[in-house]
């Protein structure tokens, strides 16, 4: 028996040593692969009507300097850092709304990025501006660099070039729905999947990212992005970069964390969400997060074991709050395909429970609008899964809430002006393979488009 006790003791010590070694090794890998190293060209964060942040990185410590102005040959305004560093972020304030500015960045000796007519950024319109035309590009699960990602990117560029807006930039805003760098969200993977993949867009357009499960494997996400946890771009202070909100013209955006934050009703995220939506006065409400509440794609929203229940949690706990405050459009990724719902409401169970009673409207294409809706609580929401900006996976794609399900790589281009939203799914061949319109009305004419079988909602 003595030998057995000694063997057990030896095995226990060995297992403990192995666990300690694994923990130390894991910490080392996460730390080293999350570190930001080397040069990185400027990109924009925390855009607002009067301010914007510009971020870049250098391979050695230096004092960052930013010059800007209304013309590329007249960069007479300058701000600089107080202390040298490798990670640089300068916030410009006191800017004019809806204005184009040109820029260059460098150090106290020279400018080494920018300074041409292609190096510009735009400030946001005044908050609440109702007649501003807004063009938004949405990518999802874009973190696999390669031919598919490049084709989706180039298809967007082709489409906006062929469909220009008079006196407007090619894009105003850019959202990413999570899993922005595969497989582990390391700094090196972000370099390949984001900075090397979209350099021409990053030099002009601010990126607003959601946090995905692959982003969560390293800490690079929070080192790379500078997000408005103090409500620098509108909304209510969240106090965390995991979830945040911002305003742009007459749109209020909410970016939620379906990965790591508490998703239940009494958790910090949903308590903040209710405060934020209670304070919102914008005409449009768009919400984005990674794990879709409705999907039969790569992931199954009926399966409580899928993604450790995150899809089910978002449907059961988050959607009732969003629909109570009249959310218009919910964007998610995670499933590597494209799925788009009817105008629906009050479905918080599995797909077998979905019925005509949950469909506010099936659309009205013959009357020049896909979906006509009222304002306010439970007026109907369109749910979109757009997780195919870098790859497409095979799946059943048959969720009954979805009017359209496509196994095609692509991205969303959304145009919003006053009371009309037009969304188009552009595939990798620059073809519009799905288009829907949401029109919001102040009078009772929306009732003409109401599905007679819609049962309303009593679950607030």
256-309 per-position pLDDT tens digit = 999 999 999 999 999 999 999 999 999 999 999 999 999 999 999 999 999 999
Residue 103: inside a domain? yes
Domain final position from 122, 149, 176:
122
Q: How many CA atoms does the CB half-sphere of 381 hold within 13 Å?
A: 30
**Residue 237 shares a structural domain with residue 343:** yes
**Residue 82 shares a structural domain with residue 116:** yes
DSSP state of 426: E
Structure tokens at 273: 């969400």
Neighbours of 429 (CB within 10 A): 13
**Residue 104 shares a structural domain with residue 202:** no
pLDDT at 1: 56
State the total domains in the chain: 2
Domain final position from 122, 155, 187:
122
**Residue 255 shares a structural domain with residue 113:** no
Residue 271: inside a domain? yes
Q: Nearest Cα to 281, choosing from 240, 238, 324, 325?
A: 325
Predicted structure pTM score: 0.93
CATH of the domain at 428: 3.60.21.10
pLDDT at 459: 72
pLDDT at 458: 78
Q: Under 8 Å CB-to-CB from 106, ≥6 apart: which residues? A: 64, 65, 112, 113
E strand map for 155-305: 173-176, 207-209, 244-248, 251-255, 284-288
pLDDT at 16: 46
pLDDT at 402: 97
**Residue 115 shares a structural domain with residue 200:** no
First to last CA, the chain: 65
Residue 417: inside a domain? yes
Residue 2: inside a domain? no
pLDDT at 6: 58
Residue 7: inside a domain? no
**Residue 341 shares a structural domain with residue 287:** yes
Q: Nearest Cα to 247, choosing from 430, 390, 125?
A: 125
CATH of the domain at 76: 2.60.40.10
Domain final position from 93, 122, 151:
122
Q: Nearest Cα to 283, choosing from 125, 95, 73, 58?
A: 125
What φ, ψ does residue 165 adopt, rounded to 5°? -110, 130
**Residue 48 shares a structural domain with residue 112:** yes
**Residue 144 shares a structural domain with residue 279:** yes
**Residue 219 shares a structural domain with residue 71:** no
What φ, ψ does residue 152 adopt, rounded to 5°? -65, -45
**Residue 279 shares a structural domain with residue 199:** yes
**Residue 138 shares a structural domain with residue 111:** no
The 10s digit of each residue's pLDDT in 127-178 is: 999 999 999 999 999 999 999 999 999 999 999 999 999 999 999 999 999 9
Q: How far apart are CA 104 and CA 65, in angstroms?
A: 8
**Residue 51 shares a structural domain with residue 162:** no
Helix/strand/coil percent split, the chain, to 5 = 25, 30, 45
Residue 28: inside a domain? no
Residue numbers of the domain that contains 209? 134-449
Residue 141: inside a domain? yes
Spans of the chain, pLDDT less than 70: 1-36, 365-369, 460
């Amino acid at each position: 028996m003595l030998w057995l006790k000694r063997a057990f003791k030896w095995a226990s010590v060995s297992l403990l040593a192995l666990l300690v070694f694994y923990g130390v090794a894991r910490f080392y890998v996460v730390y080293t692969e999350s570190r930001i190293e080397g040069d990185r060209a400027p990109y924009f964060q925390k855009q607002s009507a009067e301010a914007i942040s510009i971020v870049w990185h250098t391979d050695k410590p230096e004092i960052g300097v930013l010059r800007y102005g209304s013309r590329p040959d007249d960069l007479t305004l300058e701000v600089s850092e107080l202390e040298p560093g490798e990670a640089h972020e300068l916030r410009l304030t006191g800017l004019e709304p809806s204005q184009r500015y040109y820029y260059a960045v460098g150090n106290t000796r020279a400018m080494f990025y920018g300074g041409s007519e292609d190096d510009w950024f735009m400030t946001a319109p005044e908050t609440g501006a109702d007649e501003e035309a807004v063009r938004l590009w949405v990518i999802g699960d874009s973190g696999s660099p390669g031919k598919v990602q490049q084709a989706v990117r180039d298809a967007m560029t082709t489409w906006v070039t062929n469909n220009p807006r008079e006196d407007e930039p090619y894009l105003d805003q850019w959202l990413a729905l999570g899993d922005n760098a595969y497989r582990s969200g390391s700094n090196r993977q972000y370099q390949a999947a984001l900075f090397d993949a979209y350099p021409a867009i990053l030099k002009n357009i601010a990126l607003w990212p959601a946090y995905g499960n692959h982003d969560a494997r390293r800490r690079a996400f929070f080192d790379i992005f500078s997000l408005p946890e103090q409500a620098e771009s509108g909304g209510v202070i969240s106090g965390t970069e995991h979830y945040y909100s911002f305003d742009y013209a007459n749109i209020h955006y909410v970016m939620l964390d379906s990965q790591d934050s508490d998703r239940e009703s009494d958790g910090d995220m949903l308590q903040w969400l209710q405060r934020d939506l209670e304070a919102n006065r914008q005409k449009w409400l768009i919400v984005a997060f990674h794990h879709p509440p409705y999907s039969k794609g790569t992931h199954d929203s009926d399966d409580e074991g899928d993604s450790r229940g995150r899809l089910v949690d978002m449907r059961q706990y988050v959607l009732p709050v969003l629909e109570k405050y009249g959310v218009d459009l919910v964007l998610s990724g995670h499933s590597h395909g494209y799925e788009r719902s009817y105008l629906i409401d009050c479905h918080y169970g599995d797909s077998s429970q979905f019925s005509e009673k949950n469909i506010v409207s099936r659309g009205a294409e013959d009357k020049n609008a896909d979906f006509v809706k009222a304002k306010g609580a439970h007026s109907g929401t369109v749910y979109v899964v757009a997780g195919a900006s870098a790859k497409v996976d095979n799946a059943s794609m048959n969720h009954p809430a979805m009017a359209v399900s496509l196994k095609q790589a692509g991205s969303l281009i959304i145009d919003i002006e006053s009371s009309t939203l037009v969304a188009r799914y552009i595939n990798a061949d620059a073809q519009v393979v799905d288009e829907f319109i949401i029109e919001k009305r102040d009078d009772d004419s929306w009732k003409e488009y109401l599905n007679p079988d819609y049962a309303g909602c009593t679950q607030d």
